[in-house]
Amino acid sequence: MITIEVGGTIFKTNRSTLANIPSSLLGQIAYSCNSDDETPGSTGNKACYYFDRDAPAFRHILNCYRDGELHVAKDICPQQFRKEMEFWGIPVHLLAPCCWRYFYESVDDIETTKVIGQNRSVDDRRFLGIENIHATPSQADSNSCSHRIWLFLEDPTSSTGAKVLCNLLHYQSC
């Protein structure tokens, strides 16, 4: 039996469970443990490890060792969970297909936010928490496709097409 304390929460599992992902951090720990530690009825010292990490995320990591696939809870930020996976050495290919969209969608959201942030005012970028808040868009950026699309959707005075779209949307909302 191996006891793992993560962020103040105690988890117990068998060495053989952790050996299911041998290249991971816990898989390597399981390999280095004495096999007598999990002998039924053994009175020897049990292996105990402490990690200052996120316990709710670790519950899913430990279940991956048990089930062979990784599920991400919707109440955990996918980017934070990715950091937990990297720390524990869990390969991305173990991510269950039902969680792919949630996990990878956040990468697209971050990229979209960065593009929008380049075309926003300093106050808007500060509100969104986007890096480089003191940078101003260059003339080349104002002619970029993403900037023109943003203007089309956000500023009804930017073009005739934007005016038409605004009038159509306003008409449909009445």
- Cβ contact 120:128 at 8 Å: yes
User: What's the pLDDT score for residue 164?
Assistant: 78
Question: Counting beta carbons within 10 angstroms of the beta carbon of residue 35, is it exposed (0 to 12), middle (13 to 18) or buried (19 or more)?
Answer: exposed
- Each residue's pLDDT tens digit, 48-74: 899 999 999 999 999 999 999 999 888
Residue 61 C-alpha from the chain's centroid: 13
Q: Which distant-in-sequence residues (6+ apart) come within 8 Å of 30 by Cβ?
A: 2, 15, 16, 17, 18, 19, 22
Beta-bridge mates of residue 95:
70
Segment among 18-27, 137-146, 162-171 with least mean pLDDT: 137-146
Q: Which among 31, 21, 28 has a CA at the least distance from the CA of 70?
A: 21
The pLDDT value recorded for residue 57 is 94
Query: Which residues have C-beta within 8 Å of that of residue 52, sequence separation ≥ 6?
Result: 7
For 2-95, CATH gives 3.30.710.10
Tokens standing for residue 147 = 């900037």
pTM of the model: 0.58
Domain edges within the chain:
2-95, 110-173
The alpha carbon of 53 is separated from its chain's Cα centroid by a whole number of angstroms, namely: 15
| Rg (the chain; Cα; Å) | 25
